Amino acid sequence: MMKSIAFGAIAAVMLATGLMVVSSKNLVRAALWLGAMLLGTAVLYAIMDASFLASVQVLLYVGGVITLMIFGVMITRKHEGLEVPAETMRPSRAMAVSALLFLALAAAVDKTEGLEQELLPAPPTTADLGRAFLVEHVLAFEVLSVLLLGTIVGAIVLARRRDLGAAVGLFPATPPMPTGSVAPTDEEPGSKVAA
Amino acid sequence: MTPPVLYALVALWTPAIAALLLAILYPLRKKGQPAAVVAILGSLVSLGAAITLFTDRLHDDATHRLVVPWIGSGASTIAEVGVHVDGVSASMLVVVTLVATCVQVFSIGYMHDEPPEAYGRYFTYHALFLFSMNLLVVAPNILQLFAGWELVGVTSYLLIGFYFKKPSAARAAVKAFWVTKFADMGLLFGLLVLFAASGTFGWEPTLSPPVATAVTLLFFLAVVGKSAQFPLHVWLPDAMEGPTPVSALLHAATMVAAGVFLVVRANPLFEQAPITRSIMLGLGAATALFAALLALVQTDIKKTLAYSTCSQLGYMVAALGAGSMLGGFFHLTTHAFFKALLFLAAGSAIHAVHSNEITDMGGLAKRMPLTATAFSVGALALAGVPGLSGFFSKDLVLESVEGKLGNVPYAVLMLTAFLTAFYMGKVVFVAFFGKPSGEKAAHAHESGPSMSGPLVVLMVPTVVAGYFGATFAKVQGEPYHFAFGAGPATASALGLAGIGLAYAVYGRGPRAAVPAPIAMIDRVAKTRAVNRVYEWGFRNVTLVLADGLAFIDRYVVDGLINLLGWGAIEGGRKLRPIQTGLAPDYVLAVVLGVVGLAVWAVFGSWR
Amino acid sequence: MTLSHVLMLASALFCVGVYGLLTRRQAIAILLSVELMANAANLVFIAMSRFRGGVTGQVFALFSLAITVAEVAVGLALVILLYRSHADTRVDLASELKQ
């Protein structure tokens, strides 16, 4: 009973913060709202007795991803200060489509038998999770670590490509990157793509 | 593998190897002389094998075959390829390889002034021709014969068009190719009908009378084309645009005789079709007379010989039509020798005078005694003078047609014998006797050994081949009897009379007044009636038909294709705006797809 | 609190994310929406594990988390590249491949 009440409250918070993420006029705020939404998710995980995942959610997402997002917003903004306008386009069409999608998904959930089910008495423990993760699925775990390594290298190469190219002499030295105060030019788009 | 088969294989493959070497090794061909050596070596080996094979036939009358499956169809074989050795193929091999070797040796001198590259090309073609002809001769079935038949057609095209920079030669090559190709359809369709009716490509199957008539008539169409019978003879005079040795080999002695050879080969089939034989008899006799009349009015020495070839082929066809396979084949053999001799002697004269016109020659006998002797011997043999080879074979032909079709062909051929003697006499008297008619003729001198050698060699069979009629017949397994009776006497008398008349008219020189009958024939010949019929047909039937088909192709077939292309382009243009290049629009498409899948999953398969 | 409630919540969050994906012009805002959607999917994994038993759903969720983080890293790198080449992060400006 307690859990049901907590679930209802958390669900309401998550939906509200999720809506703020997609509708906020300020990108920095939107990122912070996402943080709130992810925290709500962590609480929901805790309600469902997945405490390890809840802590990972807080550490990785709220601590890491959101910080990274805000860095990204700051690096690519065109204005000083925290005001980074987020523009939207054709909201009514998007609303109709997402409502349609929700109806379809809800219908699927509704039509599926056997979903009116309460929580099981014995939730899996963190020890079970650790055993499954590092014993049964250890190969997948290792592959995942390789993926993460590749991602790190790839992200660095992508983001620092020009400097890297210039350093090893692969790419000619290019003019300094445009600063945030420079308005979008009417040059041919793509003419500045790194060689 | 029995020895005869081995000899036949050697005779078949040595020219092929020579041709292959010359075709692949460009330096060999470019140098000219080495190419001639290779080609002639191939021919000599082939000749040796053929002669060995022939002498072997004298005491062995079994048929030897070596065949390998060719076209497989499931477990059975539709056709075979290989060699078939019997009297017919052995005799023909000797004729072909002997004449080919003589002509190739002759060509060394005749083609001497050609650039080395053209020289090499010439001998490559010759080697290829010899292989093709031998392939045809030793064929164990009509399908392989057809392959050789088409190959000699191709080499004929190449050799007629040897001077391809000369427009008339190129045109003549194309004309020969087209006319014979049209006729070859007959062989192809005949083959198909034969196979459909009997399930084999052999020449022995017994067919029902209508089928046999249809097959043999179709074959005969091919014979008419290849052996230049009326009305498809038009290509042969034009084919004289090729080098003279080529005319001697292909267009007098061997290739044009392939048509006759086909009939000899397929004799068991033709025996079942008396209607076809009657047509052959009539058409052969008509061609003999028609071509002889045209030969009367020619002033070009090669064209005279070309029409004479048509005429003599008419004799052979008539003999085959009369049912005398031996008469046709024997005349083919002797004719191959003396006509090759005539052409080579003519080539020698042309080489000396640099003109084909007999009126540009004159008095050559004094300056070129060997050439004159050779030509005269050949002309006498052709005229059927007793004692020479042509006399025996022509009498065999006349004897076979005697009494057939109300004796009309017999009379026609008798008249033709007279005309033949007359026009050959004319050529001999005008070209080789009397006074030289020009500077060139006055300073002509005898050709070198490579050219005079083959003349001497060919003179031997021209003179003596007639006495080997019995041997020849024995090899074919046919009965042979020769009696100097009324028929041969009349023919000889007519021949001598023709020569006499020629002496009376032309003996005193080329400028003698043209006799009225000849002038009249000349006027008719100048209308080129047969050629004009073809030209009219080409313009008014073929071209109109082609235009109609072109219209259908352009506006119906192409229109359909263009419509499809236009549809694709227009459809693309209409669909292009969907690709906005905006990521959200693609997401939208994905989401709609997911919605669709969800709807299908919920309301579709789960119920 | 039943399984269907959690699934409904996850569907709603996912659709909110789709709405953001369709309306936002800034690349980073689109990344935020994608995170929202990924989170909704993760929620389903965990709910399934809790309501149907077994630990595999949680393992899956962990993998999914790691992959999402990787995706964010690459996505941000692409955003920075886009910003460098166009001096802007609005995705509708980057449509050169259409021309």
Using CB atoms within 10 Å of the CB of residue B181, give its burial: 0 to 12 exposed, 13 to 18 middle, 19+ buried: middle
Structure confidence at residue B477 (pLDDT)? 79
Residues in chain C: 99
Structure confidence at residue C97 (pLDDT)? 62
CA distance B556 to B287: 46
Interface test with A, best of B592, B599, B600, B602 (most A CBs within 10 A): B602
CA distance B254 to B457: 17
Question: Alpha helices of B227-368 — where are they, by DSSP H?
Answer: 235-238, 244-248, 257-265, 267-270, 274-296, 301-321, 325-353, 364-367
- Residue A181's pLDDT band (cuts 50, 70, 90): very low
Provide, as residue numbers in chain B, all residues whose Cβ is less than 8 Å from the Cβ of A98: 591
The token duo for B370 is 């060997």
Give Cα B107 to chain centroid, integer Å: 19
Q: Looking at CA atoms only, how far is residue C3 from chain A in angstroms? A: 5
Cβ proximity of B290 and B518 under 8 Å: no
Q: Do A69 and C15 touch (CB under 8 A)?
A: no
Write the single-letter amino acid at A9: A
Per-residue pLDDT averaged across A99-125, rounded? 84
Non-local (6+) Cβ contacts of C51 within 8 A are: A117, A118, A119, A120, C2, C3, C6
Question: Is C23 in the B-facing interface, judged by CB distances under 8 Å?
Answer: yes
Provide, as residue numbers in chain B, all residues whose Cβ is less than 8 Å from the Cβ of A90: 584
Cβ proximity of C15 and A4 under 8 Å: no
Q: Which of B97, B101, B63 is nearest to B83 (CA)?
A: B63
Place of tokens 């002033």: B299
Every domain of chain A with CATH number 1.20.120.1200 lies at 1-87
Structure confidence at residue C46 (pLDDT)? 92
The token duo for B453 is 């050698």
Q: Do C43 and A78 touch (CB under 8 A)?
A: no
Question: Is C44 in the A-facing interface, judged by CB distances under 8 Å?
Answer: no
Q: Which of A158, B209, A108 is nearest to C77 (CA)?
A: A158
Provide, as residue numbers in chain C, all residues whose Cβ is less than 8 Å from the Cβ of B577: none
Q: Looking at CA atoms only, how far is residue C19 from chain A in angstroms? A: 5
Structure confidence at residue C98 (pLDDT)? 60
Place of tokens 């056709």: B79
Q: Do B583 and C97 touch (CB under 8 A)?
A: no
HEC profile of B114-130:
CCHHHHHHHHHHHHHHH
Q: Which of B194, B121, B203, B221 is nearest to B162 (CA)?
A: B121
CA distance C73 to A154: 9
CA distance B193 to B173: 30
Backbone angles phi, psi at B280, to 5 degrees: -60, -45
Helix (H, G, I), strand (E, B) or coil at B164: coil
Q: What is the ipTM of this complex?
A: 0.89
Residues A1-87, CATH architecture = Up-down Bundle (1.20)
CA distance B61 to B39: 32
Q: Chain B: list its partners (3+ Cβ pairs within 8 Å).
A: A, C
Q: Chain A: list its partners (3+ Cβ pairs within 8 Å).
A: B, C
For residue C92, the chain B residue with the least C-alpha distance is B582
Omega before residue B15 within 30° of 0, cis: no
CA distance B22 to B3: 28
CA distance B119 to B163: 11
Using CB atoms within 10 Å of the CB of residue B97, give its burial: 0 to 12 exposed, 13 to 18 middle, 19+ buried: buried
Structure confidence at residue A11 (pLDDT)? 93
Using CB atoms within 10 Å of the CB of residue B60, give its burial: 0 to 12 exposed, 13 to 18 middle, 19+ buried: middle
For residue A105, the chain B residue with the least C-alpha distance is B598
For residue A183, the chain C residue with the least C-alpha distance is C87
CA distance B378 to B445: 20
Q: Do C74 and A49 touch (CB under 8 A)?
A: no
Domains in chain C, start-ordered, CATH in brackets?
Answer: 3-87 (1.10.287.3510)
* C98 vs B581, B584, B591: nearest CB: B581
For A:172-191, CB contacts with C below 8 A are 177-178, 182, 184-185, 189-190
Interface test with C, best of B579, B586, B587, B590 (most C CBs within 10 A): B587
Question: Is A121 in the C-facing interface, judged by CB distances under 8 Å?
Answer: no
Q: Do B584 and C22 touch (CB under 8 A)?
A: yes
Angle subtended at Cα B275 by Cα B269 and Cα B278, rounded to the nearest 5 degrees: 105
Residues in chain A: 195
**Higher-confidence position of B250 and A189:** B250
Q: Do C73 and A68 touch (CB under 8 A)?
A: yes
* A102 vs C11, C20, C61: nearest CB: C11
Residues in chain B: 607
Question: Is C45 in the A-facing interface, judged by CB distances under 8 Å?
Answer: no
Q: Which residues of chain B have pLDDT under 50?
A: 607
Provide, as residue numbers in chain A, all residues whose Cβ is less than 8 Å from the Cβ of C72: 65, 68-69
Strand duo B76-85 + B64-73: pairing: antiparallel
Cβ count near B88 (within 10 Å): 20
Spell B332-344 as b/e; 16+ CB within 10 A means b. bbbbbbbbbbbbb
pTM of the model as a whole: 0.63
The token duo for B66 is 């070596």
For A:130-149, CB contacts with C below 8 A are 132-133, 137, 140, 144, 147-148
Query: Is residue B406 left, alpha or beta, with left meaning phi > 0 and alpha meaning psi from -120 to 50?
Result: left
